[in-house]
Amino acid sequence: MNFTNQQLTFIEKAMTSISNDPKTRLSPIVKNIIAEDNYVFDAHCHVFDGDCINVKYMAARMVAGAVGGLRAWIWKLVTGKQYTEEKSLLSSAEMIEMVYENPEIITDKDLPSALDRMEKELDQMEFEAQSTKSLYGFNPIEFIKRYRTIIQLLRSGSMENVYKAFEQNYAIHQVINYRNGGNKKLLTIALGMDLNSGWEDSVPKTWEEQNADLSLLSRNHPVLPYLPIDPRRENLYEVFLDAFDQSNPQFFGVKCYPALGYLPSDNRLMPIFKICAEKNIPIMTHCGGEIVSTFENPIYANRLGEQVEINDHKRKHRARRLNEPKEWEFVLNEYRNLRLCLGHYGGGAAWENDPATSHRIPEIFEMMTKYDNLYADFSFNLESLTAIKNFRSKLFKDDTIGRLMKERSLFGTDFWVILPLSDLITDQHNFVAETEGLLNELLKTNVLNYLKLS
């Protein structure tokens, strides 16, 4: 691999200033919980507050995630406009696409009043639901509770408040303890996202401010923070060196999100991956689901220094190209020791046998046979019981794929992203019920191996 003088200088500094031992990047809180040995992991989680994300996007997701006749009600509350019949035929992704491609539907200045309207209506809806459960055709109490939580999180300017809401109300250890009567604690891999780069600075908090918040959160709570990286960041190398400096490490791992507009093999990222491979810094990448992605078209990406044009009229198709697991082979062939987790395991649609993405699953297994430190997590896919059952059917087989999955599969929620679309508690109960007997591997052993903490 040929590096520029700037990259060579970065590599030289990183080799001397970053520890090879991942344990040195753990906070005292995390070290104590690991020593007590009574815990489970959520290996893929987001705890960003309302200033770290695009609130308009989240409002669109709330509309898209509403069930049945409630979608028309949410649409009117969010936009102030009537819900036409043709909108009922749109998928969640198409609904979000429509909102973004037509900026007059809802503007940023409309959002505070929209959230006010929603909260008042939720209160009235809850009162009516308690007195007349048949009013909506089903009992919407859990739906109301979930959407009220989303509104509160959207208004929160505190990552700590979001983490506390997640840990107390939605985390996997609560499900495990409820089912088994135990008292397990939670360790969370909390992933940053550089939406500022991917969404043209439409996010209130800067990348640097978000990184500082996530690092601070990990000082006070059992969190392993992951630094979000993007090759378009001019100060990326300087921030990385500071984040992992052995004298005062701020982060534990690295998060990549190619769907925001780049390929993992961008030659500006290769020196970072070299250091991650040599210093045992784990990588988590987005690999499945195309709803959160760049709106740029065409996309001019970089693959090992060569320009790649990605041009398609549908945003999700462009994002799909960036998300392909095979794109990571360009990186793994160069750095075979890289500790990499493919987030979402190719995507829930792939596990539902979607013809456009189902090829990813056998490709991931093929890659696992070649790269000993390649893992995958099943986060976000929890919303689909079909995906969970198909995952289980492969997981419990006594064959090569089953054995790979038993050793390399991780559990994660993708909290925040899944919350507007599904009942996360029910989803986790479904996953636990289907994977009983291998939960220790999925929620603990495999995660420790991926993190090189075992």
Per DSSP, the residues of 40-91 read EEEEEE----TTSS-HHHHHHHHHHH--TTHHHHHHHHHHSS---GGGGG--
Up-side HSE of residue 15: CA atoms within 13 Å toward CB? 8
In 358-397, the DSSP E strands lie at 374-377
Q: Is the bond leading into 298 cis (omega within 30 degrees of zero)?
A: yes
pLDDT at 107: 65
pLDDT at 238: 98
DSSP 133: G
User: Are 128 and 45 contained in the same domain?
Assistant: no
| Gap between the Cα atoms of 153 and 47, Å rounded | 9
pLDDT at 136: 47
pLDDT at 436: 96
Which of the listed residues 133, 154, 175 is the one where a domain comes to its end? 154
User: Are 242 and 318 contained in the same domain?
Assistant: yes
The answer to whether 163 and 223 have CB atoms below 8 angstroms apart is yes
| Gap between the Cα atoms of 323 and 436, Å rounded | 30
pLDDT at 134: 44
pTM for the structure as a whole: 0.92
CATH of the domain at 392: 3.20.20.140
User: Are 207 and 332 contained in the same domain?
Assistant: yes
DSSP 435: S
User: Are 328 and 424 contained in the same domain?
Assistant: yes
Alpha-carbon Rg for the chain, nearest whole angstrom, is 21
pLDDT at 391: 98
Angle between helices 424-434 and 172-180 (to 10 degrees): 60
User: Are 129 and 268 contained in the same domain?
Assistant: no
User: Are 59 and 32 contained in the same domain?
Assistant: no
CB atoms within 10 A of CB 10: 21
- Residue 25: exposure state from Cβ atoms within 10 A (0-12, 13-18, ≥19): buried
User: Are 142 and 130 contained in the same domain?
Assistant: yes
- Residue 332: exposure state from Cβ atoms within 10 A (0-12, 13-18, ≥19): buried
Q: How many distinct structural domains can be found in the chain? A: 2
User: Are 100 and 211 contained in the same domain?
Assistant: no
pLDDT at 245: 98
User: Are 212 and 240 contained in the same domain?
Assistant: yes
User: Are 27 and 65 contained in the same domain?
Assistant: no
pLDDT at 135: 47
Which of the listed residues 154, 177, 201 is the one where a domain comes to its end? 154
Residue numbers of the domain that contains 206: 5-51+157-451
User: Are 282 and 381 contained in the same domain?
Assistant: yes
Per-residue pLDDT of the chain (454 residues; tens, 9 = 90+): 899 999 999 999 999 999 999 999 999 999 999 999 999 999 999 999 988 887 777 777 777 666 666 777 777 777 777 777 777 777 766 777 777 666 667 666 666 676 677 777 777 766 666 555 444 444 566 677 777 788 888 888 899 999 999 999 999 999 999 999 999 999 999 999 998 887 766 788 999 999 999 999 999 999 999 999 999 999 999 999 999 999 999 999 999 999 999 999 999 999 999 999 999 999 999 999 887 888 899 999 999 999 999 999 888 899 999 999 999 999 999 999 999 999 999 999 999 999 999 999 999 999 999 999 999 999 999 999 999 999 999 999 999 999 999 999 999 999 988 887 788 999 999 999 999 999 999 999 999 999 999 9
pLDDT at 419: 85
Which of the listed residues 137, 154, 171 is the one where a domain comes to its end? 154
User: Are 169 and 316 contained in the same domain?
Assistant: yes
DSSP run (H or E) holding 225: strand 223-229
